[in-house]
């Protein structure tokens, strides 16, 4: 597979807090953004938990009109600004804001952004329902969501106990655990309690938010497992392109 955005020889391989395997970065950009370029080109994009500008850069390369990256860690915002400057991105096409994603979203006006990216953030928080409520309140046309999910199954006896007669699908659930905040990619804030949703819950939240969605296929025959993408292939990490139903 040839990549529209190539991360080889970019500063992100030094500054990124995500896995720095270049094939993984290329594939993530290709499947999450390039293959959904209709949601990026000429669009106003909000990049939640933008880290060092890794995907903000990709959006600009794919023709985004304007991108705002929101990241609470000032050192990563500094890296992001330096990275995009060194790569020749026009400073009037992007902005990085040092802020909590929840606080920032509460200030966003309706239809201020066409597309919202939520990559590698959904499983580092404990209030996913609040996040989706804030996102939907801004009325974006598109949401691209990429997250780890829990893959264990509840015992049948417990599963039967949480089902109701009206339920057509297995109920979604969340597993809570304590995350080490000293780890670079960990949660940020006063609490290190985070929730890992299962796939059913992620999809239920998207439906509740008024989105039509499709799961991005990481098992396509063209996706050769050259890099560290086994989590996607095993669906312990899943990705969705979602569109508001009234668009």
Q: Is the dihedral of CA 178, 155, 153, 212 positive or negative?
A: negative
CB 78 within 8 A of CB 11: no
The pLDDT of residue 164: 57
Say which range, 35-44, 75-84, 176-185, has the weakest mean pLDDT: 176-185
* 8-state DSSP, 39: G
pLDDT in tens, 183-242: 655 656 667 889 999 998 999 999 999 999 999 999 876 776 556 888 998 999 999 999
**Euclidean distance between CA atoms 171 and 158, whole angstroms:** 11
Quick one: average pLDDT of 177-188?
69
CB 74 within 8 A of CB 80: no
* Residues with Cβ within 8 Å of residue 178, at least 6 apart in sequence: 192, 193, 194
**Euclidean distance between CA atoms 149 and 147, whole angstroms:** 6
| Burial class of 244 by CB neighbour count within 10 A (0 to 12, 13 to 18, 19+) | middle
CB 125 within 8 A of CB 196: no
Confidence of residue 31 (pLDDT cuts 50, 70, 90): very high
**Euclidean distance between CA atoms 87 and 80, whole angstroms:** 11
Quick one: average pLDDT of 40-44?
98
The pLDDT of residue 21: 86
CATH of domain 12-244: 3.40.50.150
Mean of the per-residue pLDDT values of the chain? 89
> What are the DSSP calls for 122-155, one per residue?
TTS-S-HHHHHHHHHHT--SEEEEEEE-B-----
């Amino acid at each position: 597979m040839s990549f529209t955005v190539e991360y080889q020889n970019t500063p992100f391989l030094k500054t990124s807090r995500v896995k720095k395997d270049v094939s993984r970065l290329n594939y993530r950009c290709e499947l999450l953004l390039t293959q959904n370029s209709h949601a990026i080109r000429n669009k106003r994009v909000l990049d939640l938990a933008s880290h060092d500008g890794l995907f903000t850069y990709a959006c600009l390369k794919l023709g985004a009109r304007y991108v705002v990256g929101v990241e609470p860690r000032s050192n990563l915002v500094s890296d992001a600004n330096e990275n995009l400057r060194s790569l020749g991105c026009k400073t009037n096409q992007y902005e990085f804001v040092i802020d909590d994603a929840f606080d920032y979203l509460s200030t966003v006006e309706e239809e201020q952004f066409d597309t919202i990216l939520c990559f590698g953030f959904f499983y580092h928080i404990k209030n996913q329902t609040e996040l989706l409520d804030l996102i939907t309140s801004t009325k974006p046309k598109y949401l691209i969501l990429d997250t780890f999910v829990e893959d264990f199954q509840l015992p049948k006896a417990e599963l039967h106990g949480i089902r109701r007669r009206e339920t057509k699908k297995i109920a979604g659930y969340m597993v809570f655990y304590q995350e080490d905040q000293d780890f670079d990619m960990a949660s940020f804030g006063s609490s290190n309690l985070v929730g890992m949703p299962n796939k059913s819950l992620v999809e239920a939240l998207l439906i509740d938010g008024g989105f039509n969605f499709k799961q991005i296929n990481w098992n396509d025959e063209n996706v050769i497992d050259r890099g560290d993408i086994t989590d996607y292939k095993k669906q312990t990490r899943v990705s969705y392109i979602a569109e508001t139903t009234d668009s």
